[in-house]
Amino acid sequence: MNNLSNQELIQQLKWRYAVKRFDVTRKISESDWKALEEALILSPSSYGLQPWKFYVVTDEKVKKELQPHAWNQPQIVEASHIVVIAAKKDANPETIEKYLNRVNEVRGTALKDLEMLKGMMLNSQKMAISNGFINEWSARQCFIALGFLLSAAAVLGIDACPMEGFLPAEFDRVLGINEEGYGSVVVCAIGYRDNEQDWLSKLAKVRYENSEVVKHI
């Protein structure tokens, strides 16, 4: 396995920023997108339940339809790919059954040997539902996937911009997300920066000193 050195990793993370203007002439290659999509699929989640769905928009007409519902931000139409990360709505015991069946399929673990795990998961889910927390829990998982996507893109030298400035209900309507039992949580524009148009591209990254935000115990 060819690992990035510590220096190379930090260099790429310093290189990335939330791109505001993308180069419309550059598109992500099929092989690079396949790697980014796989990174999304490999994202961790609580209990491994993966309560999400990723809507990948490359159709220019659909991008233009979405743009007014994201305060007309240019990233929506300029980026090569738009990823809408949506959370499973009202997760229920069937969600757990589906996952355990997948464990059985992939690992060959007998379902009877998963009963203890199933009980733990059902108890956690029941508490989340009774406390009105289940949809927030699902939404939180989506931000883990977003972080994975941003980091993977940076390592590959591909730019990205995470976006919460959009109207979820309108994105859901345009993309038919609600009909599939999901609700959009966060958007990520993926592509390549336009150094001439994006005033942020040449500015230093602003972060607090380690001592202010990291406490070793």
Q: Six-digit token pair at 45?
A: 């989640």
What is the pLDDT confidence band of residue 3, given thresholds at 50, 70 and 90?
A: confident
Q: What is the tens place of the pLDDT at every residue in 54-103?
A: 999 999 999 999 999 999 999 999 999 999 999 999 999 999 999 999 99
Q: Can you give the residue ranges of every domain in the chain?
A: 17-213
**Alpha carbons 137 and 99: distance in angstroms, whole number:** 17
Torsion over CA: 136, 138, 144, 145 (sign): negative
Query: Do 83 and 134 touch, CB atoms closer than 8 A?
Result: no
Q: What is the tens place of the pLDDT at every residue in 101-133?
A: 999 999 999 999 999 999 999 999 999 999 999
Q: Under CATH, which number does the domain 17-213 receive?
A: 3.40.109.10
- Among 100, 79, 66, residue whose Cα is nearest residue 20: 79
What is the pLDDT confidence band of residue 199, given thresholds at 50, 70 and 90?
A: very high
Q: What is the tens place of the pLDDT at every residue in 139-167?
A: 999 999 999 999 999 999 999 999 999 99
Q: Model's pTM, two decimal places?
A: 0.96
**What strands, in cross-sheet order, belong to the sheet with 81-88?**
52-57, 81-88, 182-191, 159-163
